[in-house]
Amino acid sequence: MSRWAKQIQMQCNIPAIGVASSNIVHYATGYVAKYQTGMPIRYVSVPFPFTGQPRAVDVGYVSGKDMLTGQPLMGAVVGALTGPLTAEEKISGAAPEEAIEPRLLPPDSEENLRMLFEDREWTDFNSIILPTERRVTEMLKGTSHKPDEVIKTINITGGARQLTVEKVAISAVMAGASPEHLPVILALATQAPFGNSTSSMANMVVISGPIRNKLKFNCGTNAMGPYNRSNAVVGRAFALMSKTAGDLRNNVNAWETLGNTMQYNSMCYGENEEALPDGWDPLHVETGFKPTDNVLSVGTGWSSIASVGASQSIYPTHYLMRDYMSSFCASGSAATIVIDPTVAGLLKDVHGFKTKAQLSEWFSQNVTKMNASYWGNGVIQSTAVPFALAGLEPYASWRKLPDDALIKPFTNPKAIHVVVAGGKVQTMWFVTDFGIRRGVKIDDWA
Amino acid sequence: MTPRLTAAVLLGAFILVPALSSHALPKYAQKAPSVKPGQDPSASAKDEIPFPQVPRITGEEVERIAKEKGNVVLVDTDDPEAYAAEHIKGAVNIAFDPTVEAKEQDQLLSALPGDRLIVFYCNCSHEEDSAPMVLEMWELGYDHEKVKALKGGLTRWEQLGYPLAGTDVDKNQEKGN
């Protein structure tokens, strides 16, 4: 909002202010005061939440008081637009440069250094391996890439940070990884930082190709549980590099109201490629890689529902999956279904899905959702509504349907991915609303 | 007594660089160098076309496909104010902003239909703002042949006399009337 208000001021040469809810306005004002030049954007504030409230409540906010000054809201709006500049607002020129952290900290006791890392939030608050110079140097032996090579530049609030190979190696050490894990973690770094929204966003990391066996990633029993080192350290490194390079600090710029425990290791697991039914390709092959390529794929989403109990013939498994999927927001038509090899076998041999693509197509055609339920989701409101108003189909037509009409919101079967993992112990599966991005070749980072 | 670690601890040393500098842009989002004084602009455009891996489509081709099949989605990558003032008729708006993580746009981008030709365009000379969006669509798994950048962008579309919409267009029509 600060950005848009500033743009209106500069382009139209008229004063602009922001009206924001009380839960985020301090973030917005801090950002503007710290990083923008010229007069900061002024704000007035209303209580939160205002979406989902009866209209009378929102009207009450407008006739009520500004949460920042305690003045009547509309008076505060006029005051913010017309009030003379304060001394602080008259400051112009570039914002002072941030103090750059030293590359090396002075020696100290392990206890003190751990406390320092916790104070600065350079940790996920599980115990870390302190990244000494010797340990990081050893870690860097896991790649041929130079330590100062910039993998990507991460845009953070008010600036940008360069994520180098050395910084990723630091996160790898902290996570407890070994040098042979580094190419995987460097490939993962190309996708950093992980998602950060006010909702409980989380990630999924899927490892494909021969490297799963070489590094002993768990693709079988307990693939998603705390039973394997490679799954644990690679997934954890994503959280650590996201928090440090992505500058994510609780209540400063990380605002997930409930958070998500999946962020601790980002559901890192390998696909059980050896247990795929004939005709079902691994995830990375489906997305254009060779079977012999070592690939890491990252998914992003919010929701995950696990099945309970064994599959029953009275109601086929894919029907249950379909029912569960209907509760997802279907943003971007995205879903990722993780299924045990036994379920994959049933789906192929009993129900006739000869490929993963056929199953995805079936979900696209058969998952239905009540129209009001679709539009009642906040993510859909912010993405599909502008498209509907601009006349883009199918959104424009869906907006005109009655609330109880059934729509098929998973319009793009290619955004519905199926991954096979698990140990054939039970006919279990997860459905998630995670959208998977194109994979990254791990060998490029060896 | 707690022993002191003999080695110093390596920190992230996350160096802040100014937003909007070329360093702040993802590699794929960095623009081509501008034309130097005395240089032939057309030669420059040919030699230094930004994001050459992104397929371009001409306005004529888009118009033809739209008329024959009607299944083209046009995406304006300008900021919302510019979009409101003038855009290709029927286009939706997803603004390109090099100062935010490209992934922050993913919810919007992935809401675009996967079964139609999607054409991104900007109000810039060599698709500097629209081509990076095409690359991000590829990252999201969209078919390469179904996502393209409009060659010459809004300017070329206007030159061709194809339909536009927006507040500026409405004002001009009122004046014309």
- pLDDT at A158 (0 to 100): 62
The span from the CA of B63 to the CA of B136, in Å, is: 24
Q: Which residues of chain B have pLDDT under 50?
A: 1-3, 6-8, 12-45
Picking from A118-127, A410-419, A421-430, B65-74, which range would have the lowest pLDDT averaged per residue?
B65-74
- pLDDT at A103 (0 to 100): 87
Work out the burial of residue B52: count CB atoms within 10 Å of its CB; fewer than 13 is exposed, 13-18 middle, 19 or more buried: exposed
Residue B13 and residue A247: Cβ atoms within 8 Å? no
- pLDDT at A28 (0 to 100): 63
Give the model's confidence band at A94: pLDDT under 50 very low, under 70 low, under 90 confident, else very high. Answer: low
- pLDDT at B5 (0 to 100): 56
The span from the CA of B51 to the CA of A422, in Å, is: 41
Residue of B nearest to A152 (CA): B26
* Residue B3 located in a structural domain: no
- pLDDT at B22 (0 to 100): 33
- pLDDT at B70 (0 to 100): 81
Which residues 239-268 of chain A have a CB within 8 Å of chain B?
Answer: 244-245, 247
- pLDDT at A252 (0 to 100): 79
- pLDDT at B32 (0 to 100): 38
Q: Which of B160, B164, B128 is nearest to B58 (CA)?
A: B160
Task: List the single residue in B8, B12, B99 with the smallest CB-CB distance to A107.
Answer: B8
- pLDDT at B88 (0 to 100): 95
- pLDDT at A212 (0 to 100): 98
Q: What is the number of domains present in chain B?
A: 1
* Residue B146 located in a structural domain: yes
Residue A253: pLDDT over 90: no
pLDDT tens, residue by residue, A170-209: 999 999 999 999 999 999 999 998 877 788 999 999 999 9
Farthest CA pair distance, chain A: 75
Residue A359: pLDDT over 70: yes
Picking from A107-121, A392-406, B38-52, B150-164, which range would have the lowest pLDDT averaged per residue?
B38-52
* Residue B119 located in a structural domain: yes
Interface size, chain A vs chain B, as Cβ–Cβ contacts under 8 Å: 180
- pLDDT at A99 (0 to 100): 63
Give the model's confidence band at A245: pLDDT under 50 very low, under 70 low, under 90 confident, else very high. Answer: confident
- pLDDT at A12 (0 to 100): 73
* Residue B145 located in a structural domain: yes
Which residues 7-66 of chain B have a CB within 8 Å of chain A?
Answer: 7-19, 21, 23-27
* Residue B11 located in a structural domain: no
Please state the rounded mean pLDDT for residues A252-267.
90
- pLDDT at A68 (0 to 100): 87
Assign A365 to helix, strand or coil: helix
Residue A56: pLDDT over 60: yes
- pLDDT at B1 (0 to 100): 42
- pLDDT at B54 (0 to 100): 95
Domain that includes residue B82, residue range: 49-176
* Residue B13 located in a structural domain: no
Q: Do the Cβ atoms of A101 and B11 come closer than 8 Å?
A: yes
Residue B56 neighbours by CB distance under 10 Å: 19
Task: List the single residue in A113, A386, A435 with the smallest CB-CB distance to B92.
Answer: A386
Whole-angstrom Cα Rg for chain B: 21
> What residues have CB less than 8 Å from A390, skipping those under 6 apart?
A396, B90, B91, B92, B93
> Which position has the token pair 């038509």?
A333
CATH of the domain at B147: 3.40.250.10
Residue of A nearest to B114 (CA): A412
pLDDT tens, residue by residue, A286-344: 999 999 999 999 999 999 999 998 889 899 999 999 999 999 999 999 999 999 999 99
**Mean per-residue pLDDT over chain A, rounded:** 90
Among B4, B5, B10, B119, the residue to mutate for chain A (most A Cβ within 10 A): B10
CA distance A110 to chain B (A): 6
Residue A34: pLDDT over 80: no
